[in-house]
């Protein structure tokens, strides 16, 4: 649950998921904060371990993709 809250906190602050690297130790979700000039200003990486949180960020990505199609 804490990992889902961390993902939500970053998204609420304006961060966008720009990449995911998965391995046996979990997923490393890369976030960028994009400023008003559409430039990346801050990058954060969140190490996600739980299966529920991994499914959660995947759902967020699919929802984002559906909005743009």
Q: Where are the domains of the chain?
A: 2-61
29 within 8 A of 50, measured Cβ to Cβ: no
From CA 28, how far away is CA 31, in angstroms rounded? 10
| Local confidence band at 1 (pLDDT 50, 70, 90 cut-offs) | confident
Give the tens place of pLDDT for each residue, 13-62. 989 898 999 999 999 999 999 787 877 689 999 999 999 999 999 998 88
- Residue 69 reports pLDDT greater than 60: no
Residue 13, beta-bridge partner list:
none
17 within 8 A of 29, measured Cβ to Cβ: yes
């Amino acid at each position: 649950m804490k990992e889902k809250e961390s993902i939500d906190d970053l998204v609420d602050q304006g961060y966008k998921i720009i990449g995911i690297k998965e391995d046996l130790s979990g997923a490393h979700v890369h976030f960028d904060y994009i400023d008003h000039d559409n430039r990346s200003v801050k990058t954060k990486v969140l190490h996600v371990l739980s299966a529920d949180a991994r499914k959660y960020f995947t759902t967020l990505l699919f929802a984002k993709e559906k909005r743009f199609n």
